[in-house]
């Protein structure tokens, strides 16, 4: 794939995303000639028009993703393929906008089981798209083929049906099965008799047994996840740990406007680094010119060093010492958020089209440095007992509970924890990821934690780890 071809293909993808973004955020209102959202909600045809433009947007995206998969196969082994794979991942993330619109934000991750394996063509994608097309013929219905998201999902299709009379939405998940083995397995399931299963196993043997085992395992996970959607407040134990559902009393505040401002500064070559709520450094870097990029990176590293890492006067340091210290500063790149399950789609964020495209295609790089001690200090100022676990306690929990590296962020080898209903809870990666990848202000993240603590229903919490309040360290 030549550089010229690569640029032309990227330009095509950008135009498609701009078209999809317009359809999903403004299309229905423009079709109805409506300017404000209140008038749109009052219009009896608004939901119907939303479905119409969503279906157009979905068709554009699925066609583009299938084309990208085809190109990845054709160019297998060539160095440019990694760029195509990222573009496909980006489109999958934008495609998840449909899921975020259909469900409340806290429920979206319950749809995803984990990483998906294999390409779309090797799945039953033809039958899924055929079902989706047929279902979408009804103007009050909209179906979402979940194989086009970044993850393996609990079902093949998510459907939304709007009542013509009440205008209320009904959401359902549908798993599509095809083939003789699946047909026989479903028939045996419906009979509820051991004789039917014996006949099934006699006919299909070990292959049928393994397929039935996968079917029932997937069914159990589906029912467990499905119960979490629209769940009442409380603490729910799952195979992977626990999920806390609490009514939040605050409206999440995001620093989207500040990201926009930093992007504008970066393109002009101005200083584009800022610290939000004394614990989260955000830097925008223009990648189009190497000199400008390196200068911006130096600015970000120097501010992180002076604000969070040392209390010494670095202006008195020898150049070699400063260079060595700056190299130790580690940032998180916003683009890595395409691997975060809870990522709010960039397609739906209230930013300019230019910033949307520049961030998604890497023309502007967004770097973050999170300072955990200052964040925990804000938690304590808000009345929440929070602190670090010792390295010894952290290592014990890691070994006992089998933590993966991305599950719980560590600061100098220590996990963060806070008190809920008198019991310490380890702070998972979701809190930090929401601040970095979803641009949630740290102060809003603290308010959410405090709200979860105060609004937790009585007697809903069960001790989930063998910790006490004495295990929390301030620094």
Please tell me the predicted confidence (pLDDT) of residue 441: 97
Tokens 């292959």 sit at which residue? 207
**Could you tell me how far CA 382 lies from the centroid of its own chain?**
27
pLDDT confidence bin for 372, thresholds 50/70/90: very high
CB 140 within 8 A of CB 160: no
CB-neighbour burial class of residue 324 (10 A; exposed 0-12, middle 13-18, buried 19+): exposed
Alpha carbons 39 and 223: distance in angstroms, whole number? 39
Nearest to 394 by CA among 407, 377, 376, 385: 407
Task: Work out the average pLDDT over 148-163.
Answer: 90
Helix axes 353-360, 3-22, angle to 10 degrees: 140
Q: Which of the residue ranges 135-139, 197-201, 425-429, 463-467 has the most confident prediction, judged by mean pLDDT?
A: 135-139
The first and second tokens of residue 128, run together, are 């899924």
d(CA 321, CA 314): 9
pLDDT score for 171: 87
Tell me what the mean pLDDT of segment 453-469 comes to.
Answer: 51
Give 100-128 as a DSSP string.
HHHS-GGGGGGGEEEE--S-TTTTTHHHH
Query: pLDDT, tens digit, for every residue of 338-353?
Result: 999 999 999 999 999 9
pTM of the model: 0.85
Domain boundaries, the chain: 3-169, 177-230, 232-475
Tell me the pLDDT tens digit for each residue of 433-449. 999 999 999 999 999 88
Least confident among 9-13, 66-70, 196-200, 320-324: 196-200
Q: Tell which wins on pLDDT, 386 or 229.
A: 386
């Amino acid at each position: 794939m030549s550089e010229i071809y690569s640029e032309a293909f990227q330009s095509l993808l950008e135009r498609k995303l701009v078209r999809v973004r317009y359809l999903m955020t403004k299309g229905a209102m423009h079709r109805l000639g409506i300017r404000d959202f209140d008038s749109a909600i009052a219009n009896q045809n608004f939901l119907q028009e939303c479905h119409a433009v969503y279906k157009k947007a979905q068709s554009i995206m699925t066609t583009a993703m299938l084309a990208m998969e085809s190109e990845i196969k054709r160019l297998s082994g060539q160095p440019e393929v990694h760029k195509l794979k990222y573009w496909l991942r980006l489109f999958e993330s934008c495609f998840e906008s449909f899921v975020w619109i259909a469900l409340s934000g806290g429920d979206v991750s319950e749809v995803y089981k984990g990483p998906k394996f294999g390409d779309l063509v090797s799945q039953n994608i033809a039958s899924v798209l055929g079902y989706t097309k047929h279902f979408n013929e009804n103007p009050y219905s909209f179906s979402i083929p979940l194989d086009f998201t970044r993850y393996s999902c609990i079902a093949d299709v998510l459907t939304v049906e709007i009542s013509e009379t009440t205008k209320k939405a009904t959401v359902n998940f549908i798993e599509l099965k095809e083939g003789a083995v699946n047909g026989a397995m479903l028939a045996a399931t419906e009979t509820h008799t051991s004789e039917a299963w014996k006949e099934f196993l006699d006919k299909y043997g070990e292959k049928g047994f393994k397929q039935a085992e996968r079917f029932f395992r997937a069914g159990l996970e589906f029912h467990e996840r499905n119960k979490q959607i629209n769940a009442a407040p409380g603490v729910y134990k799952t195979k992977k740990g626990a999920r806390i559902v609490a009514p939040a009393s605050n409206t999440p505040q995001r620093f989207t406007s500040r990201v926009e401002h930093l992007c504008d500064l970066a393109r002009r070559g101005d200083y584009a680094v800022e610290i939000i709520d004394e614990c989260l450094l955000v830097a925008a870097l223009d990648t189009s010119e190497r000199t400008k990029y390196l200068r911006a990176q130096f600015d970000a590293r120097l501010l992180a060093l002076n604000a969070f890492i040392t209390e010494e006067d670095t202006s008195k340091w020898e150049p070699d010492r400063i260079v060595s210290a700056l190299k130790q500063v580690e940032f998180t790149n916003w683009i890595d958020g395409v691997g975060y399950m809870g990522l709010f789609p960039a397609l739906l964020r209230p930013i300019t089209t230019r910033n949307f495209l520049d961030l998604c295609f890497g023309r502007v790089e967004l770097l973050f440095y999170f300072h955990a001690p200052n964040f925990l200090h804000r938690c304590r100022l808000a009345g929440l007992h929070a602190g670090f676990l010792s390295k010894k306690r952290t290592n014990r929990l890691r070994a006992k509970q089998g933590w993966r590296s991305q599950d719980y962020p560590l600061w100098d080898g220590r996990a963060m924890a806070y008190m809920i209903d008198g019991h310490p809870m380890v702070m998972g990666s979701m809190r930090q990821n929401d601040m970095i990848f979803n641009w949630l202000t740290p102060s809003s993240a603290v308010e959410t934690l405090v709200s979860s603590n105060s609004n937790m229903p009585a007697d809903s919490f069960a001790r989930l780890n063998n910790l006490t309040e004495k295990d929390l360290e301030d620094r």
